[in-house]
Amino acid sequence: MTRTPPRTRLGFLYPGHAAEDDYPLMSDMVKPPAQVNLVHTEFLEDAHSVKALSEMGSVGRLSKGAEALIGTGIESVMWTSTSASFVLGIEGISQQIATLEKTLCVPASTTAMAFARAVKAIGAQKVAIAATYPEEVALKFCQFLNHFDIDVIHLSSRGIVTAAEVGTLEKEDVINFALANIREDADALLIPDTALHSAAWLTELEQTTGKPVLTANQVSFWEALRLCGKLKPQSGLGRLFEDIP
């Protein structure tokens, strides 16, 4: 009798409630399936502003969330707020990662770092960005990517203030948003908000735009698997998952 191997256990810290259902969906889409341990972290204000995001991604908030994952057997952990990591800069992200690794004794990363690694993994140099954030926050994402010599040739900021509102956007709106921001000379399109649903539509997003599309929840899940050495070629999750370097 063939024994089914245990599922890879992945930890995710997710602020509030918006598009967190992307993670269990992706856990069933990958082969072999993974197990998601997701903890909702707290914050003072649901707002895409530098002040609110800095508080949301503070070491204190992450430490409290990480404590709920102690003893769960996770093999890696992700802080899944793109903006509440890149607004703090490289030094702030390093502190976030160090806090999670010290608390949980497993490899850790953030969605912002996952974007930088994913862009490199698919061999992209020039990218277009379709951001749901206000312009002030979206520009900080560009600055973060520039640190890794990633050339942002187009940036759109939709100006949505809350993650809760972003989470209500449906398939047609997300695909139209992607189409409106694709550029012929871009190697990939980045959609950086973890509050935006995307997992179920990754194949259609790429077929419609004709480009590799990297979304926040997609790159977070990819990074979680990469960190614990369980990343394998997959179908249905975009070009990022098809060819594993």
Three-class SS state of 58: coil
- In the chain, % of residues over pLDDT 70: 98
Start-to-end C-alpha separation, the chain = 34
Confidence band of 99 (pLDDT split at 50, 70, 90): very high
pLDDT at 35 over 90: yes
Given this model, what pLDDT does residue 46 score? Answer: 84
Whether residue 2 is contained in a domain is answered as no
Supply the angle between the helices 171-180 and 202-209 in degrees, to the nearest 10. Answer: 30
- The H or E element containing residue 12 is strand 8-15
Residue range 197-225, pLDDT digits in tens: 999 999 999 999 999 999 999 999 999 99
- pTM equals 0.95
Question: If you average pLDDT over residues 88-109, what whole number do you get?
Answer: 97
Supply the angle between the helices 22-29 and 216-227 in degrees, to the nearest 10. Answer: 50
How many domains does the chain fold into? 1
Whether residue 3 is contained in a domain is answered as no
Given this model, what pLDDT does residue 3 score? Answer: 65
- Report the CATH number that the domain containing residue 53 is assigned in CATH: 3.40.50.12500
Chain centre distance of CA 147 = 18
Residue range 119-173, pLDDT digits in tens: 999 999 999 999 999 899 999 999 999 999 999 999 998 888 788 889 888 999 9
Given this model, what pLDDT does residue 2 score? Answer: 53
Whether residue 50 is contained in a domain is answered as yes
Whether residue 58 is contained in a domain is answered as yes
Whether residue 144 is contained in a domain is answered as yes
> What is the residue range of 178's domain?
8-242
Whether residue 214 is contained in a domain is answered as yes
Whether residue 188 is contained in a domain is answered as yes
Task: Please report the sign of the dihedral spanned by the C-alpha atoms of residue 112, residue 163, residue 35, residue 12.
Answer: positive
